[in-house]
Amino acid sequence: MVLSFKSWFANEGGKHFILWLGANAWLFLRTFLTYSTGQQYYYLYKMLGLGLCISRASASVLNLNCSLVLLPMCRSLLTCLRGTHTLSSRGTRRLLDKSKTFHVACGIAICIFSVVHVSAHLVNVVNFSAFYSEDLPALNLARYLGEVIPGITGVLLVVILFLMFTASSYCIRLSNYEIFWYTHNLFIVFYIILMVHMVGGALKYQTNVDTHPPGCLRPNQSSPELQGEELEPGNEERRCKEEARFHPHYPQTWMWVSGPLCLYCAERFYRYIRSSDPVTIVTVIRHPSEVIEVRMLKRDFKAHPGQVVTVRCPTEEKETFGVHMRVVGDWTERFTELLLPKTGVELEILPMVQQRRYPNDGWKQFRLRRLYFVWVCRELQSFYWFSELLCALHHKLWQENRPDYLNLKLFVSQTEDLQSMSEEKYRPLSSRLSIGRPRWKLLFDEISNANRQKHVGVFCCGPKGISRTLHKLCNSGRYTGVTFEFNKESFS
């Protein structure tokens, strides 16, 4: 498929990966060159060679990524930023929506560079002993402090990273989320150990480069190329004025990591405080296909797009927010049992009041001109989850003389056992229902023909197959004049 540069740039080029990759590459190269060409590391480099440069360069990249990895997880802060007017450009909002992807990218970088770092240090340990320096005894690896503390903390760090990484695969998150959650919370132990990792001063730099230029001749040494000849006056400068002195590096990781760590701890504390406020359940509705809708009320809370709600289970005219949840695992089953006890049990069920509020005339303030809502379900019953909302919206828009604002397209993918939505009140839905999977190319053709020279935002929430197809279509060059911006959401 031919790529359109304009579409590709809108979808991929704006990604922060390029900036992040550039920052990592620059940091790696800069540190590498500092250690390979820096005067203060001359003797150390002679002893350890490439292993020194690679281990230090990967360490600085690790510092950067360990500090960046926490920032996308400050969800309350990101929600706040997303809503402010200063950062209300679409590009920035899309960037903030990709925070989870960025977190994963930093995590993978941490794992890769840990492998590089450990391998390089293994080579360093061998070289420290193989090239033990009699001339510069201060440079050698101090037996206790320099070897044991970084060694043991390093092993512990890798073990924690191993536990976190193996529990974060898609399969584990899908089936046993608790393993992922509890191992990931070991991050605090990881960061504490990381900050003491460099204590011990294994790596030293030379402090007196001006008085002892690296490579200078010692008083009892003679220059190899002037053997047997008298030293000329000019060569006096090549004599060392004093012995080389070395000083261990101070641990620097705390400078990188403490800011984001404090920010994230504040975020967790804020979430904990907010979660202590009780939530009132206003309505519970049981929909077909094992779905329940729960509408809730919380003090000082208004639902905004892009927010993440963590639900933990124990009228007046207020705005409720709600979640639809599919009852699949043990948590959702227990939650349903608590809210909707099975019939036959003698319990008093209090009457619940249903309240629905939609924006009354607030369409004009949004830049959205038209909405195509494409919904693909396996069974017909699933459409009942949001049937009331969709029909109400449809009627409201017809009455406001904006029939083209909302274009509904419903698809039932399972073609056996045909049924129809026979209720008269769901007529707008049943007349827009098609059997079989949607043909995305035709849909995109239709949308691009009807919306020339416009920006079309595509929001996909669904399985990877559909997401990939849509992403490719958005990037293809078929639609001249129309830019399709691809966005996706995943909840695992």
* Residue ranges in contact with another protein by CB under 8 A: 115, 118-119, 122-123, 125-126, 155, 158-159, 162-163, 165-167, 169-172, 174-176, 178-179, 328-331
Compute the distance between CA of residue 246 and CA of residue 205 in angstroms, rounded to an integer: 5
Please count the other Cβ atoms lying within 10 Å of the Cβ belonging to residue 442.
Answer: 9
> What's the closest the beta carbon of residue 298 comes to another protein, in angstroms?
26
233 or 314: CB nearest another protein: 314
171 or 442: CB nearest another protein: 171
Report, in this order, helix, strand and coil percent for the chain, each rounded to 5. Answer: 50, 15, 35
Compute the distance between CA of residue 150 and CA of residue 262 in angstroms, rounded to an integer: 24
Residue 261: closest CA among 469, 476, 67: 67
> What's the closest the beta carbon of residue 220 comes to another protein, in angstroms?
34
Taking CB atoms within 8 Å and a gap of at least 24, the contacts of 411-417 are 411/374, 411/375, 411/376, 411/377, 411/435, 411/436, 411/437, 411/438, 412/376, 412/377, 412/378, 412/379, 412/380, 412/436, 413/376, 413/377, 413/378, 413/437, 414/378, 414/379
462: tokens are 């669904």
Please count the other Cβ atoms lying within 10 Å of the Cβ belonging to residue 342.
Answer: 8
336 or 475: CB nearest another protein: 336
Compute the distance between CA of residue 457 and CA of residue 366 in angstroms, rounded to an integer: 14
> What's the closest the beta carbon of residue 97 comes to another protein, in angstroms?
25
Residues β-bridged to residue 287: 291
174 or 435: CB nearest another protein: 174
163 or 325: CB nearest another protein: 163
Q: Which amino acid is at 64?
A: L
132 or 170: CB nearest another protein: 170
> What's the closest the beta carbon of residue 154 comes to another protein, in angstroms?
9
> What's the closest the beta carbon of residue 129 comes to another protein, in angstroms?
9
> Tokens 């008093």 sit at which residue?
348
> What's the closest the beta carbon of residue 181 comes to another protein, in angstroms?
10
DSSP 111-137: HHHHHHHHHHHHHHHHHHHHT--SS-G
- 87 burial via Cβ count (<10 Å: 0-12, 13-18, 19+): middle
Residues β-bridged to residue 406: 371
> Going by C-beta distance under 8 Å and a sequence separation of 6 or more, which residues neighbour residue 342?
none
375: tokens are 């919904």
> What's the closest the beta carbon of residue 17 comes to another protein, in angstroms?
24
317 or 330: CB nearest another protein: 330
> What's the closest the beta carbon of residue 170 comes to another protein, in angstroms?
7
**Gyration radius of the chain's alpha carbons:** 32
> What's the closest the beta carbon of residue 327 comes to another protein, in angstroms?
13
109 or 421: CB nearest another protein: 109
122 or 188: CB nearest another protein: 122
22 or 329: CB nearest another protein: 329
Q: Which amino acid is at 224?
A: P
- Per residue, what are the HEC states of 28-58? HHHHHHHHHHCHHHHHHHHHHCHHHHHHHHH
95 or 125: CB nearest another protein: 125
> What's the closest the beta carbon of residue 27 comes to another protein, in angstroms?
23
> What's the closest the beta carbon of residue 265 comes to another protein, in angstroms?
25
Compute the distance between CA of residue 320 and CA of residue 283 in angstroms, rounded to an integer: 9
